[in-house]
Structure 1
Amino acid sequence: MKNILTVLSLIMIISCKKEDAKAIKKKQSEDPAINNNTSLITRDDSIKTIDDIKKEYASINSMLISKKLDSTQFSYNCDEREGEVTLYYKDKKLAAVKDFYAEHSHFSSSTLYFIKNEQVFFIFNDETVWNFDDSGTPEKPETKDDIKEKRIYILDHKPVQCFEKNYSVSSKGNNKNPQTISNKETKCDIAELMKKYQLIVKNKDRKGGINCL
C-alpha cells in the first residue's frame, strides 16, 4: 500500500511540473517581447555610417516629396530678412526642418535639416543670388540666378563629409541640367547652420510669426 501511494505521489508531482512548463511556454508565446526569439533585444536603428545616412535621407526625402509627413509652420521677419520655417513630423517625432528666407538684396537661402533620434544627420543647403542679365533689354529684361548647393553628412554631431556644387540658371533658358554637374568635396563648416537649427527647435512650438530667430 505504501508503494502504491509513493508511485501516485510521484505521478502527481510530474504531472504538475508538466502543467507548469506548458503554462510558462504559453505565456512566452503570447508575449511580443519574447516571441520570435526577440527577448530583451533592443533594435539598433541609429545612424553610424555614410551609407546609413544615404538610406535614411532617401526614406525621409521620399515622404517629403509624397507629402506623407505631418507639418507645422511659423514665419519670422528680421532686419530685411523674411523667412518661413516648416517642421515635418513622422509618428510625432521631428524628421525634417526646412528654413527658407529671402533678403531684399537679391539673395535667398533654403536649408533642409534631416533628423533621426533627435539628431541632425544630413543638411542640404542652397543659396541663390539673382541679377539682371546683360543680354536683356529694358523692354524685355532677363535675369540670371547664381546657385550654390551644399550637402553635409553628419555623424555624432560632427560633419564627416561635405560637398559643394555651383551653377547658374538664366531666365532665357538653354540651361545646363544641374544633375549633370559634379559635386566637389569641400571643407566642412556647420557652425552657423547648426546655430540656426537650435534656434528653430527652441521656437518650434510658436504659432504665427515672430521677429528674429
Structure 2
Amino acid sequence: MKYLFYSILIFVFASCNNNSSENQTDEKSTHSEQSEILSESESIKENTPTNTESQTQKTEKELKTVEDIREEYQVIMSKITDGKIIPSSFDYMCNEELEGKLTYFSENGELRRIVRQSGYDHGELIREIFLKDNKPFFIFHHMESWSFDVEANQEHAIRKEITEKRFYIADNKLIKCLEKEFVNRSAAKNNPVSVNIPNKDVECSGLSDLMTEYELVLKYKNQTEKMGCLE
C-alpha cells in the first residue's frame, strides 16, 4: 500500500510540472504577439499585470518615459485579448475609391484604442492610436503600396513596399520616433517579416498632423452604420 501511495504522489507531481511548463509557453507566445506592434527590435520587460489591482495602478500611472508607454500598451493589449475591452466598428466608402473601417476599443466609457484601416487601388494604410485619459500616447502606422514586379521571371508578380512608423508621445510631445522599411515580392520564396526588421530612430516631427488625424476619427466614435467620406 505504501509503495502504491508514493507512486501516485510521484505521478501527480510530474503531471503538475508538465502542465506548468505548457502554460508558461502559451503565455510567452501571447506576450510576444502583443509586443510586435510596439517595437519588435527592442525587448519589453515581463511585467504585464497579473491581477486587477496592479492593472489599476498602471492605468493611474502618469506616462513620462518610453518604458511607461510600453507598459501601458501592454495593459491595453492584454485587456483586449482577455475580452475586457469591447470593440465597436463601422465601414466607410469615399467616392467609390477609398474604402475603410474604423474600430474603437473602450473601457468603462473611455477610449483606449482606435484602429483605422484604409484601402485603395494599389495600397493599404493602417493607423492605430492608443490612449490614456483621452490623450494619445502611442501611434502606429503601417503602409503598403504595390506594383507589378518587372524584375521577376513570373507573370503578374507583385512587389509590395512596406513602411511602418511608431510614435511615442508624453506631455503632448513626441519623445521617440521609429521607422522601418522593407519589400515583399510574390515571386520570392522567402520574404522579410516585420518582426525581424530592426527599427531605426528618426527625427520626430508632424505631431500636429497626428493630432488632426486623431480629432477626425474621434468625431465618429458613436457611429455604427456604414457611411461615406470622413470629413
Is 1:156 aligned to 2:171, yes or no? yes
User: Contact between 1:144 and 1:169, CA under 8 Å: does it hold in 2?
Assistant: yes
User: Contact between 1:46 and 1:117, CA under 8 Å: does it hold in 2?
Assistant: no
Q: How does 1:54-73 map to 2 (within 5 A)?
A: 54-65=70-81, 67-73=83-89
Q: Which protein, 1 or 2, shows the higher relative CO under an 8 Å CA cutoff with sep ≥ 6? A: 2
Is 1:186 aligned to 2:202, yes or no? yes
Pick the aligned partner of 2:68 from 46, 52, 67: 52
Q: How many residues align?
A: 168
User: Contact between 2:169 and 2:175, CA under 8 Å: does it hold in 1?
Assistant: yes
Q: How does 1:1-213 map to 2 (within 5 A)?
A: 44-65=60-81, 67-79=83-95, 80-104=97-121, 106-134=122-150, 135-138=152-155, 141-172=156-187, 173-188=189-204, 189-213=206-230
Look up the equivalent residue of 2:101 and give its one-letter code. E
| Distance change >3 Å, CA 65–CA 169, structure 1 → 2 | farther
Identity %: 32
Look up the equivalent residue of 2:199 and give its one-letter code. N
**Larger strand fraction of residues:** 1
Shift of 1:157: 2.0
Shift of 1:110: 0.1
Any idea what the Cα deviations from partners look like across 1:92-151, whole Å, max 9, x if unmatched? 3211000010112x021001100111110000111100112221533xx22121100001
Q: How many angstroms apart in 2 are the aligned matches of 1:184 and 1:73?
A: 33
Q: Which runs of 5+ in 1 are unaligned?
A: 1-42
Q: How many angstroms apart in 2 are the aligned matches of 1:65 and 1:44?
A: 21
SS in structure 2 opposite 1:48? coil
C-alpha RMSD of the superposition: 1.9
TM-score (norm: length of structure 1): 0.72
User: Contact between 1:151 and 1:163, CA under 8 Å: does it hold in 2?
Assistant: yes
SS in structure 1 opposite 2:90? strand
Q: How many angstroms apart in 1 are the aligned matches of 2:148 and 2:158?
A: 4
SS in structure 1 opposite 2:127? strand
Q: Which has the larger radius of gyration?
A: 1
Q: How many angstroms apart in 2 are the aligned matches of 1:66 and 1:107?
A: 32
Shift of 1:211: 1.7
Q: Which runs of 5+ in 2 are unaligned?
A: 1-58
SS in structure 1 opposite 2:114? strand
